[in-house]
Structure 1
Amino acid sequence: MADASSFLRRLYERLRDWRRERLAWPDVRRRLIADAALARAGAARASAATAEWFARPLLPQHPTAPRWHMLLRVTTISLAALLILLLGSIVYFAFEIPIGGGTASDAAGALTVTAADGTTLAVRGTAQGEQLDYDDISPNLRKAIVAVEDRRFFSHGAVDLHGMLRALLHDVRGGHAQGASTITQQLARLMLLSNERTARRKIQEALVAVWLEHHLTKQQILARYLDTAYFGAGAYGADAAAERYFGTSARTLTLPQAAMIAGLVRAPSQLAPVKNLDGARARAGVVLHAMVETGAITKAEGDAAVAHPADLKVAPDLPPGPGYVADAAQADIKTLVGGAAQDLTAGTTIDEHLQAAAEAAIRTHLDGEGAKKHATQAALVAIGPNGAILAMVGGRDYAASPFNRATQAQRQPGSLFKLFVYLAALKGGMTPETIVDDAPLTIGTGPNAWQPTDYEGRYEGRMPLSLAFAKSVNTVAARLGQKVGIDTVIKTARDLGVASPLPNVPSLALGTANVNLMEMTRAYATVASDEETLDPYLIQRITSHGKLMFNRPPHYGEAGEPSQAKLAMRELLQDVVSEGTGRGARLAVPVGGKTGTTQDFRDAWFIGSTPDVTIGVWVGNDDNSPMDGVTGGDIPVKIWRDVAVAAQSMPGHKAHRKPRVAATATATAPAARAPDLGEAIGGALGDAARGVIAGLTPKGDADPDADPQGTLSGKAEVVDTATLGLGGQQVRLQGVAPMGGRAARELARYLRRREVDCTPAAGGSYRCSVDGDDLATTILSNGGAEATQDAPADLAAAQETAQEQGLGIWRGRR
């Protein structure tokens, strides 16, 4: 490089001198040719000198020196050169070690989402587990990992030359390739290096391993290895694997469990038990055989462990259905405990059986009738009486579309929005019997004039408010909106939890604003509940390795006496199901709800409440294209009914009870509240409860010496919980203490339009039945009133049932 610079400098100086001499180009060219000839001659002389230098012998020639002496000197110099090269390479590779690299995970941790009964619904993220010391790790796991990964771990250094030679000979003989990396080398790779198979990485691995052996004990190295290794299914570290697969800590692993976990290190993705349980068990057998060979366990212990392999806590290949629940749980967790990097278990309020029923109902009806009517999507939310979310489905297939239509999709609710219009009117002094007019209506003038029309295109004239709501008459809703004021309607919706933007326009009364299913279901659940406000919640508790991070207080919202407007609204909702557009939702228990259908059949809704649960269903298409005649009383009601029936009949959810999650939270409330007989009594009439009631109902217990007034039948008026007006006279229920107020009103709501049959009993009292179920038993078994001191044994037993379950007046008093 220096010669080239010198040449260029001299050339520049020559050209500058020639320019000063004003030489013509032919003269310049001749001088350049002459200089080039001189340059070639000099280069030839230099090349000859260089060739002569390279031709000289490496060592001086001494005719008298022995030949072996010269070979020794050559060998010595060569070895020194190789040693210098090796040391230089080692120094270079050492400086090239990627500090902060490695294959160990640095993710934020795993999230395990469980149902209310503890069943795992979904697992997200990368589990880190708890970092354990050597003495904290199960001896079974320590022995298993050493036996299968590095038998001479406690006797060799950082690198096991004996093991490397054994592996090399095994490969030469044609056996399966064996690894020769020690546990220390594996830890080095996990901490700092990659999995690339190169000489450079192996040298770096050995260097780091030597450093680790120099600074840590064998026990510390083994503990760090078990805390860092990947064991499949997103579990980094033995403790995370123990929790992921067996629901326990690495401290307490049994021998079969330890053998399975130790066997995963070589191929964690292929052998993860949630995907390949048979392969994981076969590999565990190999580990147990190695433990027997090394003397870690006896042959009898190994045979017993093989005969009784480890069972998983979670079922293999969790279904993707609860993915919507897992997404919602993740979002709530960030609000409740922040986003710190840690493994979390979120205990939700989801009922596993109800969730499965909801997913199945959506899939069945969309694949069947939905395919014929161009209905491709649906969403569902189920909320318990205290706000607990019992089921949530955001679409027909989470794997195909994780977009949650229950919480994220904004769609027009149609007539479903009339709840707020009618509730505002009831609060303003109207009653279900108030006469309203279904007649042509024009709101506004000129180009802004609006004329609402009904679905059937005809007008029916004057009718009671209850009938207008049941038939979903648009002109009446529009008139009511103008009478109470759209701003009042908006306030009513806000009070019930609707947060979406609501424009102050006349058409809002017919549901032209966009809302989501969750907030509408919340509003209907609030009307069905005795809570002043109902805030739906999904997370019950959050833990991290057994440490409680969050626990929801046992009671949310303020229970109180429902207003007359709220009670009247419940009656209107029941009328929709009994004689209106929601007739397909009728069950053996009281049901109140409302349908909703938007223009051109783009959206179809049904939200209905039973004593146990409020369920909201939306059906439509993501591209907002019209369906083929699907109304709220069509596919949405059918989906709703399937799920409502499942809620009544599933284990742990007898129809006369509130859902287990809701009952638990309410039972621990600080103070008892008056019973909701509409919920309690209505629930008792489900199929699951009929057997209970039948077992408590007396057979032929009528008193033959009773007042001979005979059997009374008909529609009953409620005086109090123990007294009915029937056939122009008062009937006293046997064994039931009188209660007035709300309890009596709820009993009246339950008996509305029902036939009551009463048979004379002892002491001038009666035993009455409704739809074949003994009324006194129904009231007492659901905590609707107290039993009298002289109540028959079967009625006293019914009261004990309510007391044990904390129902009605016994709620919070157990």
Structure 2
Amino acid sequence: MSRNNQRRGALVAQRETAQARKPAPARAAKGKAPAHKKRKPPAGGGNVITRFFRAIFRMVWRIVWGVVWRTTAVVAAILAVATFYFHSTLPDLSELLDGRARGSVTMMDIDGQVFAWRGDSFGGAITADTVSPHLKNAIVAVEDRRFYNHFGVSPRGIAGAIRANTAAGRGAFSGAGGSTITQQVAKLLCLGVPFDPDEWASEAAYEADCRRGTVWRKLQELPYAFALEAKFSKDEILTIYMNRAFLGAGSRGFEAAARRYFGRSANEVSAPEAAMLAGLLVAPSYYAPTRNLERAQRRANVVINLMAEQGFLTDYEIAEARAHPATLSESARQPRGGYFADWLMSSAPSYLTHQTTEDVLIRTTFDPRIQAAAEEALEYVFETRVRSGSEAEAAIIVMSADGAVRAVVGGRENAIGGFNRAIQAQRQTGSAFKPFVYAAALENGFQPFDMVEDAPLTLHIPGSGAWSPRNYTNEFKGMVTLTEALAHSLNIPAVRVSEAMGREQVRNVANRFGIRSELADGPALALGSSESSLLDMTAAYAGILNGGSAVRPYGMTDLRLLGDHEPLMGRPGGLGDRVVSEETARALTWMMHQVVETGTGGRAKLNGWQVAGKTGTTQAARDAWFLGFTAEYVTGVWMGYDDNSPLTGVTGGGLPATIWAETMTRVHRGLEPRPLPMEEPVAPEWDAPVTDRGAEGGTRSGAPERGSAIEDAIRGVLGGIFGN
């Protein structure tokens, strides 16, 4: 007890001691307030101003936070609803791979090789699972390196794009967009809005609207991108992208582009080729290798560097890709037949060409070897025979005797969709028309050695007055044979023969041979005052070669839908009705052979081959022609200015004949010469030398009666018409 008492006492003593140390508060007198009583400071401390602004801040924060979380909730709800809506409208994967509004036209040459495409070429569906791994990696490296890690939208990428655009002085959403591959697929699908030809002027206008980079468009892309990510796997989204992306030269999808540029499937492309294809995505037309290969290779090298940075290539593959950049295939490097393809597109039904919604395959008569020969010949002549900087143009057509067109050169520049002078230009034919005048005479019983007078002639044309044709040399040769008149392209004899036969008969022969343009009514008809296309003129000459039957020029042998075995249409040949007898055609061919052998067409001679042809030069030399044929091919050449300006120092027997000879020399390489289908007439014997027969012409030894009768008949007819 004493111990407990001692402890209790100690504690009391300590408490008392502590209390003793604490000063006792002074007591105030009763009824008076304490002199120094301190107020308890409010929570938070600070003066009145601080507390006021603190309260304002708390109130604003509560308002802002309330607005933010409510707005976020509303936006999230809208996004969720929109995402659900888009998800419900997305079709199956197979329906999204070919997004073209129209089909393509693929043209094959005589060897079964593709030489031209028109429209949007698809090439067939590919998948991310089967495509070349290099191509898959290249696309991800250049377009969206975080593709497999994000949920459809990359905030980091968008922020970086906005920063880059504003730094470059552009609008926040102008230029770099920071879009993921998923967002780009949303653009390619146009957010599910299909192309409506009634609403859009063209598919190009529709696609331009789909690619707009406005804020509203970006906001619309978000739920659609989320829907895509919810509906499809990453590889399926990449598959849609690889099949729908436009990659230049009419190529939709990487399969079409790989075949267009490299002649192989997208499943087989190498690393350099994959880099070049992926590099097209930023600007397909600008970086297309068919437009500028070096520029495309530089862009591909940038993609190679990106692939290297992201570990998609080994050191050896990087070195190989840089040392051996991708190059174009042979067909892509040397495109041929653009004018030929344009002609087919304009001549075939539009619902199967320009307006087709199906993929169409056309087998043609096009021969790339002959096309190359014509293009090389034209280039060679202009480089070696024409002054530098000349704007003169030329056109060439090569065809077979049945009208099968083998090559078309519509101008010096092979521009797709450009003006095709071989098909579209209607120009005066000049003396190239004269064979049809003499065809009418031969068909009426006259012979190549019958005589016609080359002397001054004046015709009185009602409503126009007197008209006096002149020869190119302003000289007169007196009495000449029909063959001499044609060989030396004498104008006055041609007019005399035309008037003797009757202009209507001459027009009829020309029309039936295929000159479809409206021919002149006056006597200048015989001198080629009417207009025609090079295609029609060449086809008419083919009618002479084939023995006198008209031909309709054609370039399509059959047309079918891609994948079908039966053609929708086709043509086995172009031979038509007979125009003149075979005897007439053979005699006319011999006369035209003399044009090359002894007349104005001497520059068209070919080593080892017989050639028949005719020169043509129009008034003031605005047009110059040479058309001719061997036993194998018919070729027509036209030369002139697009604005119809006169040529300087050019006639049909000059540069056009030279172009013709250069073309046909190349065309006939490796072919065994064959004789022309012609028959040389029996030449009459004259009492006096041919050079001395003058205006009277002499008489035929052994057949004076017939010779005199024919001459008298011509003189009688012409005298009655012309009053001579």
Q: Secondary structure at the match of 1:472?
A: coil
- Cα 1:289/1:117, change in 2 over 3 Å: farther
Matches of 2:470 and 2:421, distance apart in 1 = 29
Q: Bigger CA drift: 197-206 or 79-88?
A: 197-206
**Match in the other structure for 1:715:** none
**Match in the other structure for 1:535:** 552
Give the deviation of 1:291 after TM superposition: 7.5
Matches of 2:285 and 2:418, distance apart in 1 = 25
Preserved contact between residue 272 and residue 280 of structure 1 (Cα < 8 Å): no
Give the deviation of 1:518 after TM superposition: 1.6
Deviations 1:405-455 (CA, angstroms, capped at 9, x unpaired)? 222222222221111111111111122122333344444577655443333
Give the deviation of 1:514 after TM superposition: 1.7
**Match in the other structure for 2:575:** 557
Aligned pairs (5 A) from 1:21-32: none
**Match in the other structure for 1:587:** 606
Matches of 2:53 and 2:421, distance apart in 1 = 90
**Match in the other structure for 1:157:** 151
1:379 to 381, 395, 413: 395
Consecutive unaligned residues of structure 1, counting only runs of 5 or more, are 1-64, 172-176, 658-676, 680-744, 753-814
- Cα 1:375/1:562, change in 2 over 3 Å: farther
1:678 to 675, 680, 683: 675
Structure whose alpha-carbon radius of gyration is higher: 2
Q: Secondary structure at the match of 2:550?
A: coil
Matches of 2:425 and 2:348, distance apart in 1 = 22
**Match in the other structure for 1:207:** 223
1:640 aligns with 2:660: yes
Preserved contact between residue 184 and residue 209 of structure 1 (Cα < 8 Å): yes
Q: Secondary structure at the match of 2:281?
A: coil
**Match in the other structure for 1:425:** 441
Give the deviation of 1:283 after TM superposition: 4.3
Aligned pairs (5 A) from 1:36-75: 75=61
Matches of 2:297 and 2:461, distance apart in 1 = 76
Amino acid at match of 2:664: A
Amino acid at match of 1:500: S
Aligned pairs (5 A) from 1:221-232: 221-232=237-248
- Cα 1:345/1:476, change in 2 over 3 Å: same
Deviations 1:624-669 (CA, angstroms, capped at 9, x unpaired)? 33334432212221222221222223xxxx2327xxxxxxxxxxxx
Amino acid at match of 2:469: P
Matches of 1:317 and 1:278, distance apart in 2 = 14
Identity %: 36
2:519 to 483, 490, 502: 502
Aligned pairs (5 A) from 1:683-722: none
Matches of 1:371 and 1:343, distance apart in 2 = 45
Aligned pairs (5 A) from 1:262-661: 262-266=278-282, 268=284, 271-274=287-290, 275=292, 276-283=295-302, 285-286=304-305, 289=308, 292-293=311-312, 310-314=326-330, 323-335=338-350, 337-338=352-353, 339-341=355-357, 348-363=364-379, 365=381, 370-371=386-387, 376-397=392-413, 402-444=418-460, 448-530=465-547, 532-540=549-557, 552-557=570-575, 563-588=582-607, 589-649=609-669, 654-656=670-672
- Cα 1:114/1:279, change in 2 over 3 Å: farther
1:183 aligns with 2:198: no
- Cα 1:326/1:283, change in 2 over 3 Å: farther
Preserved contact between residue 301 and residue 322 of structure 2 (Cα < 8 Å): no
Amino acid at match of 2:539: R
Amino acid at match of 1:519: D
Amino acid at match of 2:575: G
Matches of 2:281 and 2:417, distance apart in 1 = 34
Matches of 1:546 and 1:750, distance apart in 2 = 55
Preserved contact between residue 152 and residue 183 of structure 2 (Cα < 8 Å): yes
- Cα 1:67/1:445, change in 2 over 3 Å: closer
1:84 aligns with 2:104: no
Preserved contact between residue 436 and residue 506 of structure 2 (Cα < 8 Å): yes
Deviations 1:159-212 (CA, angstroms, capped at 9, x unpaired)? 4579889999999xxxxx998644323312333376666665544332211122
Q: Secondary structure at the match of 2:519?
A: coil
Preserved contact between residue 115 and residue 331 of structure 2 (Cα < 8 Å): no
Amino acid at match of 1:602: R
Consecutive unaligned residues of structure 2, counting only runs of 5 or more, are 1-50, 91-95, 166-174, 192-209, 684-724
Deviations 1:240-279 (CA, angstroms, capped at 9, x unpaired)? 2222222334455556544543454355455444333422
Preserved contact between residue 323 and residue 402 of structure 1 (Cα < 8 Å): no
Q: Secondary structure at the match of 1:678?
A: coil
Preserved contact between residue 366 and residue 376 of structure 1 (Cα < 8 Å): no
Q: Secondary structure at the match of 2:446?
A: coil
RMSD: 4.8
**Match in the other structure for 1:684:** none
How many residue pairs were aligned?
588
- Cα 1:125/1:751, change in 2 over 3 Å: farther
Matches of 1:576 and 1:168, distance apart in 2 = 74
Matches of 1:749 and 1:585, distance apart in 2 = 20
Task: Kindly indicate whether structure 1 or structure 2 has the higher relative contact order, using CA contacts under 8 Å at least 6 residues apart.
Answer: 2
Matches of 2:498 and 2:528, distance apart in 1 = 11
Amino acid at match of 2:526: A
Amino acid at match of 1:595: T
Amino acid at match of 1:498: I
- Cα 1:399/1:152, change in 2 over 3 Å: closer
Amino acid at match of 1:509: A
Preserved contact between residue 230 and residue 265 of structure 1 (Cα < 8 Å): yes
Deviations 1:339-370 (CA, angstroms, capped at 9, x unpaired)? 21456666654444543443454455556655
Amino acid at match of 2:151: G
- Cα 1:219/1:551, change in 2 over 3 Å: farther
Matches of 1:522 and 1:305, distance apart in 2 = 51
1:247 aligns with 2:267: no
Give the deviation of 1:79 after TM superposition: 1.9
Amino acid at match of 1:437: E
Deviations 1:500-552 (CA, angstroms, capped at 9, x unpaired)? 00133332122221222221111112211247232222345667766676785
**Match in the other structure for 2:197:** none
Preserved contact between residue 397 and residue 407 of structure 2 (Cα < 8 Å): yes
- Cα 1:376/1:367, change in 2 over 3 Å: farther
Deviations 1:449-494 (CA, angstroms, capped at 9, x unpaired)? 5443333334333333222221223232222222322111111111
Q: Secondary structure at the match of 2:339?
A: helix
Matches of 1:190 and 1:446, distance apart in 2 = 68
TM-score normalised to structure 1 length? 0.61
Amino acid at match of 1:376: A
